[in-house]
Amino acid sequence: MRIAGISNELADQAGCLYVWFVKLDEIEREALALPDCDRASLAASLLGTLPPPGTDISDEEIEQREREMDLGQVPAISHQEFVRRVEQQRDQ
């Protein structure tokens, strides 16, 4: 079936996306049907393939933040205050 005004390339891309979402949905459904122990093992395995939190911050951003602190443009906070704010954001 072809939709008027949609190029073949766009239709192919949409078809690939549909197949990907269907596969993802099927994988999720099968994973949720696993026993708790197997789901936990799968989750741990998948999490182990992700980069550690915070590694998505570029060196440039870190340098910019350090400059802002050195220039007094942003106030320094204690480690305890940092942890409190992170926990507060997680609760939202």
Instruction: Domain of residue 64: give its range.
Output: 60-92
> Is pTM beyond 0.85 here?
no
24 and 8, same structural domain?
Answer: yes
30 and 5, same structural domain?
Answer: yes
Q: Is the distance from CB of 39 to CB of 31 less than 8 angstroms?
A: yes
Instruction: Tell me the torsion sign for CA atoms 44, 47, 48, 54.
Output: negative
49 and 18, same structural domain?
Answer: yes
48 and 28, same structural domain?
Answer: yes
| Chain segment 39-86, per-residue pLDDT in tens | 999 999 999 998 887 677 888 998 998 999 999 999 888 999 989 998
44 and 11, same structural domain?
Answer: yes
76 and 47, same structural domain?
Answer: no
**How many independent structural domains does the chain possess?**
2
pLDDT value, residue 2: 45
